[in-house]
Structure 1
Amino acid sequence: MTLRWIKVLLVLSMGLMCLFYALQNMANLDPVYYFVGSVLTMADHEYYPNTFAFAINNESLIQIASWIIILLETLAGLLFLFATWQLIQQRNAPAEIFQKAKSMTLIAAGVATLVWFGLFQTLGGAFFQMWQTPIGDSSFKGSFIYFASILLVTFFVNLRED
């Protein structure tokens, strides 16, 4: 029973983390636009100054990209909170039912992974080379920490209990 409560609290923590990032971004929209814009425009790239593809300089597209990040963070957070509720409801259920209640945790983790791996690591890091600037590098490294935390917690939560 204690192990189940630990898993519930970990899923809740992931939901709160996602929502806190989304809310902090909403409270700081101008810095968010600046940061996302600095990544998408590929400004100040010294190590790899050329790109095989393109940079994005359109202010509307930068704002749309920023809101996509915020909305996906919000969605991930809400899904984790819903997953928390499902786990709480099934906390006393037989192991197989409790295991099935974990499915929403996997969906929430998938959305969160799309944010911090798909958007930050893949698009930001590999495509837009955000690691080349101090502002981009700190977010690039941070996104790996969030992504790894989400995966480790999700792996632990999804383990079967005896």
Structure 2
Amino acid sequence: MTLRWIKVLLVLSMSLMCLFFALQNLANLDAVMHTVSSVLTMTGHEYYPNTFAFAINNEWLIQLAAWSIILLELLAGLLFLFATWQLIQQRNAPAQIFQKAKSMTFIAAGVATLVWFGLFFTLGGAFFQMWQTPLGDGALNDSFSAFASILLVTFFVKQKED
């Protein structure tokens, strides 16, 4: 029973992490737009000054990218919150039912992984080479912490309880 409560609290923590990131981004929307713009326009790239593809300078696309990040963070947070509620409801259920109640946790983790791995690492880090600037590198390093936390908690929650 204690292990189930630990899992519930970890899923709740994931929810709060995602929601806090989204809310902090909303509270600092100008800084978010500046950061996303710096990454997408590939400003300040001295180590690898060329790209095999393109940079994005269109203001509308930059805003779309920034809002996509924020909305996906919100979505992940709300899905983790819903997953927390499902786990609380089934905390006293037989093992098979509690295990089934974890499914929303995995969906939430998928959305969160899309944000911090798909958007930050794949697009930001690999495609737009955001690691080349201090601003981009800081965001990339912080996103790794979020991504690693999501994976570790998800793998722990997935384990069956005795």
1:155 equivalent in alignment to 2:159? no
> Residue by residue, what CA displacement relative to the aligned partner does 1:39-95 show, whole Å, maximum 9, x if unpaired?
000000010000000000111111110000000000000000000000000000000
Instruction: List runs of 5+ in structure 1 lacking aligned partners.
Output: none
Instruction: List runs of 5+ in structure 2 lacking aligned partners.
Output: none
- TM-score, scaled relative to structure 2: 0.99
Distance 2:59 2:44 in 1: 18
Aligned partner of 1:129: which letter? Q
Deviating above 2 A after TM superposition, structure 1's stretches of 4 or more consecutive aligned residues are none
Aligned partner of 1:57: which letter? N
Distance 1:77 1:145 in 2: 16
Q: 1:12 is paired with a residue of what secondary structure? A: helix
Aligned partner of 2:29: which letter? L
Q: RMSD of aligned C-alpha atoms?
A: 0.4
Distance 1:145 1:46 in 2: 26
Note the 1:89-104 alignment, pairs <5 A.
89-104=89-104
Q: 2:53 is paired with a residue of what secondary structure? A: coil
Task: Name 1:51's counterpart in structure 2.
Answer: 51
User: Percent of aligned pairs with the same residue?
Assistant: 82
Note the 1:1-162 alignment, pairs <5 A.
1-162=1-162
Distance 1:27 1:61 in 2: 21
How many residue pairs match? The answer is 162
> Residue by residue, what CA displacement relative to the aligned partner does 1:1-45 show, whole Å, maximum 9, x if unpaired?
000000000000000000000001011110000000000000000
Aligned partner of 1:26: which letter? L
Residue 132 of structure 1 and its aligned partner are, at CA, apart by 0.3
- TM-score, scaled relative to structure 1: 0.99
